[in-house]
């Protein structure tokens, strides 16, 4: 065969589009935490620059998504997310999810490094969002939170109001 040698400073150009249906992938990635996950993922991205310094950018949209979280007993539905990514930065321009009678919404930025999360800057707010739905307890929350920092050193600021709490049994 012919040996392939790439010029590290040579230009690279690549475009990718994907429209996928997710059924159970999150359940496999987070066993015990997430069950019955489903959703649609639309990716539109491109790579340019050089082979030694490629620049990645594009958009990501998640919709028609949902999941069951057995630890809290809640069913997430109408999960949507719109994001733009450029190199190591992912800007979440909108995020939303429904649980029980309420909804949670947010925006934020995630900075990546070495195939992991370097730091996060997120804003979350919601009204009557069901956070617990177990036989012994049901709870709704109105969160208004700012989450900042590295995954192992997150600062959470804001407030969580509990408009409804129901405890059964002893």
Q: What is the pLDDT along the chain (170 residues), one digit of tens a residue?
A: 666 676 778 888 899 999 999 888 778 877 888 899 999 999 999 998 888 888 889 999 999 999 999 999 999 999 999 999 998 899 999 999 999 999 999 999 999 998 788 999 999 999 999 999 999 999 999 999 999 999 899 999 999 999 999 999 86
* CA 39 – CA 31 distance, rounded (Å): 17
Residue 63 neighbours by CB under 8 Å, 6+ apart: 39, 40, 42, 79, 80, 81
Say what the pTM is.
0.83
Quote the tokens at residue 45.
Answer: 């991205």
Residue 82 neighbours by CB under 8 Å, 6+ apart: 59, 60, 61, 92, 93, 94, 95
Strand partners, 26: none
Nearest-5° Cα angle at 93, 109 to 107: 60
């Amino acid at each position: 065969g012919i040996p392939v040698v790439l010029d590290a400073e040579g230009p690279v150009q690549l475009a990718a589009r994907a429209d996928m249906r997710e059924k159970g992938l999150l359940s496999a990635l987070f066993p015990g935490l997430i069950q019955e996950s489903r959703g649609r993922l639309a990716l539109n991205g491109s790579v340019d620059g050089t082979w030694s310094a490629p620049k990645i950018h594009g958009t990501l949209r998640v919709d028609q998504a949902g999941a069951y979280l057995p630890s809290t007993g809640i069913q997430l539905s109408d999960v949507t997310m719109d994001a733009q990514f450029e190199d190591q930065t992912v800007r979440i321009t909108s995020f939303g999810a429904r649980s029980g009678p309420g909804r949670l919404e947010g925006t934020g930025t995630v900075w990546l490094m070495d195939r992991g999360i370097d730091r996060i800057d997120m804003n979350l707010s919601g009204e009557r969002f069901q956070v617990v739905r177990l036989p012994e307890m049901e709870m709704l929350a109105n969160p208004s939170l700012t989450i900042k920092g590295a995954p192992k050193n997150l600062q959470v600021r804001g407030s969580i109001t509990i408009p409804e709490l129901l405890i059964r049994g002893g």
